Structure 1
């Protein structure tokens, strides 16, 4: 299982939110570049990054920071937030970003995802973020009437190979991941599933590994010290 430490960017700062609420923004590190370096030193190979401003404004807001990060670190970066056009996809993938995450656009324009996958294959990841099993969009500010499993199956049919699933009610809470929903989505589709939201400690890492998901994103747990990244990577690889 792959551990993806997370860096969320708002106004150029490394922050975390609670349940996606922009009113709960908390700066968790001084410098995203130094933070990424510590992740690399702990043994991480991947880095999960989110443009929170981009997710809210539906455009590439912190673009230069992400492309600079791709130059400065040897980590494989997957990036989400505000990527709504093929030009944006092409820009990031041609400027060192390893994979891009499409979220809101997957609900609003599934044909776009299909087109992106046709062009870029496994470098396209779909982010499915759910409240009570229903998919949320626009930086989690809107909730749709689309069920998370229905969207996962539709994305699989479109050729998507990788899905990041987040239970928003768990995100930033350190209350443990939603194992029930993760098991359901992992069984419903053949895509590689990355678990996101609520991961707190090594017990969660072990439970997710047992579930058979491809990877897990760890953010707040690392910053708050409830999870040691180096240990988590060792458990995930064991």
Structure 2
């Protein structure tokens, strides 16, 4: 299982939110570049980045910082937030980003998902963020009537290979991931499932490993010191050598 430390960018700063509420944003690190260096030195290979301003503005806002991190580290980056057009997808992927995450577009613009997957294949991921099982969009400011499993199956049909699932009620709360919803999702589709939201400890990482997920995103737990990134990566490495993955 791949561990993806997270950096959320708002107004150029590294912040964390609670349950996606922008009013709860608080700075958690000095800057994105030095934070990425720390993650890389702990053994991370991937970085999960969200442009929070971009998610609301519907276009990239903090891309300059993302590219600085790329230039300064050997980390692969997946980026989400405000990616609503082929131009934006081309912009990120042609400038070194490894994977882009379509969120609101998955719900509102299926043509964009299909077209981007045809062009870029596995470099397109879809973020499914749910509240009480229903998909949210527009930076989590709106909730639809679409069930998260229904949307996931639709994405699978479009050829999407990576799905990042967030239970909004757990995000930034350190209360543990929603294992039941993740397990259902992992069994419902053949896509690689990346868990996001609620990871609070090494025990949570072990639980996610037991579900045989592709990846886990860790944010607040790393910034508070509740989770040791090096230990989490080592645990996943041990599982690989035991022949589980």
TM-score scaled to structure 1, two decimals? 0.99
Q: Which residue of 2 aligns with 1:188?
A: 188
**2:205 corresponds to 1:205:** yes
CA contact (8 A) 1:7 1:50 kept: yes
Moved over 4 A (4+): none
1:18-46 per-position Cα deviation (integer Å, ceiling 9, x unaligned):
00000100100011100000000000000
Contact kept, 8 Å, 2:8 with 2:16, in 1: the verdict is yes
Once the two structures are TM-superposed, the CA of residue 136 in structure 1 deviates from its matched residue by 0.2
Secondary structure class of the residue paired with 2:170 = coil
* RMSD, aligned CA: 0.5
The answer for unaligned runs of 5 or more in structure 2 is 239-245
1:51 deviation in Å?
0.1
Q: Secondary structure at the match of 1:169?
A: helix
Counterpart mapping for 1:108-127 below 5 A: 108-127=108-127
Instruction: Give the C-alpha shift of residue 72 in structure 1.
Output: 1.4
Equivalent residues of 2:165, 2:193 under 8 A apart? yes
Equivalent residue number for residue 243 of structure 2 = none
Aligned residue for 1:223?
Answer: 223
Q: In structure 1, what is the Cα distance between the partners aligned to 2:120 and 2:177?
A: 30
Map residues 1-238 of structure 1 onto 2, 5 A cutoff.
Answer: 1-238=1-238
- Structure 1 residue runs of 5 or longer lacking an equivalent are none
> After superposition, what is the alpha-carbon deviation per residue over 1:126-175, rounded to whole angstroms, capped at 9, x for unaligned?
00000000000000000011110000000000000000000000000000
CA shift digits 1:63-82 (9 cap, x unpaired): 11112221111000000000
1:184 Cα deviation (Å)? 0.4
- Number of residues of Structure 1 aligned to a counterpart in Structure 2: 238
What is the deviation of 1:236?
A: 1.3
- The SS at the match of 1:40 is helix
CA distance in 2, matches of 1:58, 1:50: 13
Name which of structure 1's ranges 171-180 and 57-66 shifts more when overlaid on structure 2. 57-66
Q: Secondary structure at the match of 1:157?
A: helix
What is the rounded CA distance, in whole Å, between the counterparts of 1:235 and 1:140 in structure 2?
Answer: 32
